[in-house]
Amino acid sequence: MRYLFGDSVPFPQQYNFLSTLEAFVACATATLKLDGEIAKMRAKIATEAETRMKAVSSLEIFHQGLVRFLGEGLKRTSEPLISEYSRQLQEVATHGVEGARKAATEANERDEVSARGDIDRKRAEVRGALDTFLKAASFPSLHYSVTLRLDGNVNKVNAILTLPQGITAGFNLGTSQVREWTVPRRVAEFAQGLVLKIGLKKGWMKKSVELEPISIDDLIVSAFELEETTAEIRLKRKLDQDDAFVFRIKTAEGKGFAEVLRPLDEGADAHPSPLEDDDRKQIERLWQAMRAATTQLLPHRENLTAVALDGQDLFEHDRIVPFVERVVEMLAPVLAEVDRRSPNPEELSLKVENERGRREEIYVRKGDLIAKLESLPAESRAVLDRLGLTGAETLTATDVTVEVG
């Protein structure tokens, strides 16, 4: 199956751009609206807190003036009754000022606590909208890393995708939908004929230990962390045993290095031993085969575990709006080209061609997308202006370059 523009020219990205666009518009509408509501709540709390504290400051200034006035009056009299009256008056006034500051502080704290619950609920809705979008969206991935941990008989797999525009997203990947990953995996399922000189053979008459070649084909994969240039692979002999071997591999500037630990045989004293060149090449083959096999899991994103922009968590650093802006930067040029090549000016269309050459048109009505944006206030809609769907000046295909050949 392949994708074509509406005028039958091959679509270079080769994914359902229209479904990604629809998912993004729904996500952007929800997240911008919620983010705006959160910002207004925080601004309201800050304004009310500032008003209270300004009132307290004014009271304190007045109180200080009163204290000075009473002090000046006492200089002109030595009457004990007046001195006692002045002392009591200052004491009551000071207590009143302290009470006013305490009341203002407590009111500010109550507002913070009350708003925190609402803000947390709205943030959860934002996360839900991002979860729905990023699980459904198709973007070219610049880099990905995958981790696996065998929990009993269940493979628990996570991935971190590095997308364009500085976006990274982490997911739990579903293994139940891919038969091979529903049970513990053995090395031979990824690469066969791996015989490494990593076994420990104790001498018969001496205490020295020698290395002997062993096959790792039947060992169980208990865990791995697979990056593009580094990897850690853990293998065990039986499900109810601890890890027998831990391999660590890295490549840099065309050179490779690998080492092995034997925690089951050496226990707490296990220390890494470098692999010989031939063994290193074999374990690198396993690494790359595992990494290739995990690609079949990448479409099965079950839960969003993390999302960041330029390495900063979207929620901890309040980067929801910049995130939306970056996605707009990704989608706008492609949208403009799709629009230019769509036969109906009211629609955005692509074609899907199957293996037998049969073509089917898929499309989205622009009006449906615009309708979703109408609930947003003007300042939020402006974030999406570059898509050309908000009534602002539409981005035309002449403004961008999209390679189609």
Is residue 159 helix, strand or coil? strand
- What confidence tens digit (pLDDT) does each residue in 318-360 have? 999 999 999 999 999 999 999 999 999 999 999 999 999 999 9
Please list the residues that pair with 159 across neighbouring strands. 146, 171
Computed over every residue of the chain, the mean pLDDT equals 90
The tokens of 381 are what? 């809609």
pLDDT for position 138: 86
- Closest CA relative to residue 190, chosen from 97, 122, 316, 292: 292
* Distance, first Cα to last Cα, the chain: 18
- What confidence tens digit (pLDDT) does each residue in 110-119 have? 999 989 999 9
Compute the distance between CA of residue 156 and CA of residue 173 in angstroms, rounded to an integer.
8
User: Rg (Cα) of the chain, in Å, rounded?
Assistant: 33
* pLDDT, average across residues 217-221: 98
pLDDT for position 404: 40
- What confidence tens digit (pLDDT) does each residue in 258-294 have? 999 998 876 656 688 999 999 999 999 999 999 999 9
- What confidence tens digit (pLDDT) does each residue in 27-47 have? 999 999 999 999 999 999 999
The tokens of 47 are what? 């304004």
The tokens of 61 are what? 């200034």
pLDDT for position 254: 83
- pLDDT(398) > 60: no
- pLDDT(300) > 80: yes
pLDDT for position 143: 92
Where exactly are the structural domains of the chain?
36-136, 179-295
Please tell me what DSSP assigns to residue 319.
Answer: -
Compute the distance between CA of residue 387 and CA of residue 335 in angstroms, rounded to an integer.
7
Compute the distance between CA of residue 49 and CA of residue 46 in angstroms, rounded to an integer.
5
Q: H helices of 145-254, where? A: none
C-alpha torsion angle, residues 394, 398, 399, 403 (rounded to 10): 120
